């Protein structure tokens, strides 16, 4: 398609608002195709298909504690029952399928199957075995309710019940559930393959010593920022390449990224400057543009496109714009690709007056205390240092009036 960069980036009337831009982006963003993983490989990934119980859970009536199993009707004030059997956890059927006779009890261990004819368990702490006759047991209680201290068959789940729904991000306890129902191979959404292309001749590696930096040069903080944010979202397959402001290496890196990635992220080079080569590169590669410029502050020049199933997101170069647009666009895309819940906006109260922009939604970093948000003073989208104490972004809707102390606004926590 033909790019009209001047109109897209510079004309306020042509810029979509944040909601429209995000909807346009997510409408073409498809979840990654599921893959099979063993249990440990599935940890931390999103379950693509429901997991069902293969049998009742628990599969038999079992004792909830060490004690004595008997018929509840045999427990009377001052009674003594004769011990005629023992059932251990994992006992073979002959130990628990022989019925408990009237007036008798079995010793039983925690987790052991309840013997036939028994419907109650009295714990060891409430029982006393006769010292003179070790085959007799008495109790400190006069009665016991039927099914007391028994974990009934199927009370947790019945055979065929859904025990882990699709869409669950698998944590260690989910791995335990899957193990218990013989699901040792799980269908999960794979982690996205991400290529990160940072740009700028003025940008040097983070480890560059101060005495080797020229006055006009800066260290690459955006690359580590994005890699760290992706890592906190569970995305670890990230290829980071820093590009010079030259068309040929930009084209070659972008072309390879499209072939090997589910998501391509770029930083800088998305505007209309003479050395902003990414828009022309994407045009040559025939990607389908979705947005180029959004009516937001910071982050107005953000770019989005796709080619087949590969999503492309171009973030502005200033660090606060990178932080903002990552949370506003990249985070929701990662959630869509991995079938996770979209970022949740909360409601907080401003503890000081704020000024809304007349035509652009503002996303300002705040410090949060008791659901009250303090907007952090900043020197613009290049002011990385003011982010140090931030908890998240508040959304100041364009043209909003009455943005005073006590005003309720939406709040998005920073990726943890």
**pLDDT per residue as tens digits for the range 175-200:** 999 999 999 999 999 999 999 999 98
In which residue are the tokens 């819940």 written?
Answer: 341
Q: What range does the domain containing 172 cover?
A: 36-56+156-189
Is residue 40 located within the same domain as residue 181? Answer: yes
CATH of the domain at 95: 2.170.190.11
366 shares its domain with 238? no
Please give the Cα distance from 81 to 11 (Å, whole number): 90
Same domain, 211 and 167: no
Residues 50 and 178 in one domain: yes
Does residue 266 share a domain with residue 371? no
- Residue 400, pLDDT > 80, answer no
* 85 upstream amide cis, omega within 30 of 0: no
Residue 365, strand partner residues: 393
Q: In this structure, are 278 and 315 located in the same domain?
A: yes
Write down which residue in 337, 356, 378 finishes a domain: 337
- Of 252, 238, 163, 253, nearest in space to 194 by CA: 238
pLDDT reading at 13 higher than 90: no
Where does a domain end: 189, 213, 247? 189
Confidence band of 214 (pLDDT split at 50, 70, 90): confident
Residues 143 and 93 in one domain: yes
Number of domains in the chain: 4
Is the domain of 287 the same as that of 365?
no
Q: What is the pLDDT of residues 30-72, one digit of tens each?
A: 999 999 999 999 998 899 999 999 999 999 999 999 999 999 9
Cα 126 from Cα 50, distance rounded (Å): 43
Digit-coded pLDDT (tens) for 116-155: 999 999 999 999 998 777 799 999 999 999 999 999 999 9
Clarify whether residues 292 and 239 are in a common domain: yes
pLDDT, tens digit (0-9, with 9 covering 90-100), for 277-321: 898 999 999 999 999 999 999 999 999 999 999 999 999 999 999
Q: Is residue 2 over pLDDT 70?
A: no
Query: Are 319 and 408 found together in one domain?
Result: no
CA atoms of 54 and 71, how far apart (whole Å): 31
CA distance 167 to 41: 16
Q: Which residues contact 303 (CB under 8 A, 6 or more apart)?
A: 266, 270, 278, 279, 282, 289, 291, 292, 293, 312, 313, 314
Q: Which CATH number does the domain housing residue 397 bear?
A: 2.40.340.10
Kindly state the DSSP code that residue 387 receives in the 8-state scheme: G
pLDDT at 347: 96
Relative to beta strand 361-369, strand 372-375 is antiparallel
Mean per-residue pLDDT, 316-337? 96
Q: Determine the Cα–Cα distance for residues 39 and 206; give it in Å rounded to an integer.
A: 37
Q: Which residues contact 306 (CB under 8 A, 6 or more apart)?
A: 28, 29, 287, 288, 290, 312
Single out the residue in 337, 364, 397 at which a domain terminates. Answer: 337
Instruction: Identify the weakest region by mean pLDDT among 44-48, 85-89, 214-218.
Output: 214-218
End-to-end C-alpha distance for the chain, whole angstroms: 38
CATH number for position 44: 3.90.105.10
| 80-86 average pLDDT score | 95
Domain CATH code at residue 250: 3.40.980.10
Q: Residue 274's pLDDT is what? A: 63
Same domain, 321 and 374: no
Mark whether 317 and 216 lie in a shared domain. Answer: yes
């Amino acid at each position: 398609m033909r790019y009209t960069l001047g109109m897209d980036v510079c004309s306020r009337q042509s810029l979509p608002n944040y909601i429209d831009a995000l909807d346009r982006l997510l409408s073409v963003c498809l979840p990654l195709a599921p893959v099979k993983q063993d249990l440990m490989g599935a940890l931390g990934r999103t379950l693509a298909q429901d997991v069902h119980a293969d049998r009742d859970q628990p599969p038999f009536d079992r004792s909830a504690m060490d004690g004595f199993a008997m018929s509840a009707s045999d427990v009377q004030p001052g009674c003594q029952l004769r011990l005629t059997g023992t059932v251990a956890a994992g006992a073979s059927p002959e130990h628990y399928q022989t019925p408990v006779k009237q007036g008798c009890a079995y010793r039983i261990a925690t987790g052991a199957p309840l013997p036939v004819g028994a419907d109650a368990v009295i714990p060891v702490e409430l029982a006393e075995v006769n010292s003179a006759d070790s085959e007799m047991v008495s109790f400190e209680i006069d009665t016991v309710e039927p099914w007391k201290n028994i974990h009934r068959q199927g009370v947790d789940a019945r055979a065929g019940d859904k025990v882990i729904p699709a869409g669950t991000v698998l944590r260690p306890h989910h791995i335990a559930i899957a193990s218990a129902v013989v699901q040792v191979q799980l269908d999960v959404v794979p982690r996205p393959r991400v290529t990160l292309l940072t740009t700028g001749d003025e940008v040097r590696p983070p480890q560059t010593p101060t005495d080797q930096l020229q006055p006009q040069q800066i260290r690459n903080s955006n690359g580590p920022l994005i890699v760290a944010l992706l890592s906190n979202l569970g995305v670890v397959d990230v290829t980071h390449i820093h590009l010079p402001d030259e068309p040929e290496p930009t084209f070659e890196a972008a072309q390879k990224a499209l072939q090997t990635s589910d998501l391509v992220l770029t930083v800088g080079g998305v505007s209309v400057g003479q050395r902003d080569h990414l828009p022309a590169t994407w045009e040559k590669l025939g990607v389908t543009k979705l947005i180029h410029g959004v009516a937001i502050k910071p982050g107005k020049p953000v770019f989005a496109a796709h080619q087949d199933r590969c999503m492309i997101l171009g973030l502005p170069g200033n660090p606060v714009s990178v932080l903002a647009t990552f949370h506003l666009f990249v985070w929701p895309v990662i959630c869509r690709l991995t079938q996770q819940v979209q970022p949740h906006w909360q409601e907080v109260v401003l503890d000081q007056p704020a000024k809304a922009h007349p035509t652009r939604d503002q996303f300002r970093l705040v410090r949060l205390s008791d659901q009250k948000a303090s907007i952090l003073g900043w020197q613009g989208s290049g002011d990385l240092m003011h982010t140090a104490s931030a908890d998240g972004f508040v959304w100041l809707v364009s043209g909003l009036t009455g943005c005073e102390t006590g005003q309720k606004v939406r709040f998005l926590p920073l990726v943890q």
